[in-house]
Amino acid sequence: MDKARAWVRLPSGRRLDLLSPTPFDWSDEDLATGLARTFRWGGHSIWPAPLSVAQHSLAVLALRRAARPAAGRDALRRELLHDAEEGLTNFDCISPLKPFLGDGFRQLQQRLSLAIAARYALPPWTEAERKLHKRLDIAMAAAEAVHVAGWSREEVRATLGIRAAVMTADPLVAEFGGTPWEPWPPELAARRFLDAVRRLA
């Protein structure tokens, strides 16, 4: 073959070349479905179902709203879509493995992120906003580690190296109800994520 390519057929019937994406290669429904079927923590969970990246993204968005109630739609949309490329690759790599995947994987993620930013008109991160995002994302990871993946609080700090305090309250319960920290079925996660995308469009 003359040109490297990695095609995937999406639920909408559209085709996406992961190595050469454009902002027009997927629908919002494709992205929501992909994120709802991509799982955090390698798919491991103390619940009957794993936690989706879609649900995680909505939780980080809820934390962002609580931290900066005056945030505009652009900033909130960028927060919601902070892991969007994972819904197109259907792969959420646990952080310690990323250095072993090499520069090719980093470039693939970067191309997808650029296409997503163009499609959804995401503003670039300022230094202060990126710092806030990382704090919220890490806080969510610490909570998920305990309440979803089954690590102890001591292990979160000593083994995983996450220094954030482990929150007790699930930030999604106020909006959606349900059992705190319980992973949603993929269809429900996709629908709620898609609703959020449309509200913030």
pLDDT tens profile 53-98: 999 999 999 999 999 999 999 999 999 999 999 999 999 988 888 8
16 sits in which H/E element: strand 15-17
Average pLDDT of span 181-188: 98
CB 80 within 8 A of CB 196: yes
Average pLDDT, the chain: 96
Residues belonging to the chain: 201
| pLDDT higher than 70, residue 1 | no
CB 31 within 8 A of CB 88: yes
CATH class of 24-199: mainly alpha
According to the model, what pLDDT value does residue 5 have?
82
pLDDT over 90, % of the chain: 93
Burial of 65 (0-12, 13-18, 19+ CB in 10 A): middle
pLDDT tens profile 131-173: 999 999 999 999 999 999 999 999 999 999 999 999 999 999 9
According to the model, what pLDDT value does residue 2 have?
57
Per domain, the residue ranges of the chain are: 24-199
pLDDT tens profile 22-58: 999 999 999 999 999 999 999 999 999 999 999 999 9
Return d(Cα 181, Cα 1) in angstroms, integer.
Answer: 47
| pLDDT higher than 90, residue 4 | no
- Tokens read off for 65: 């709203």
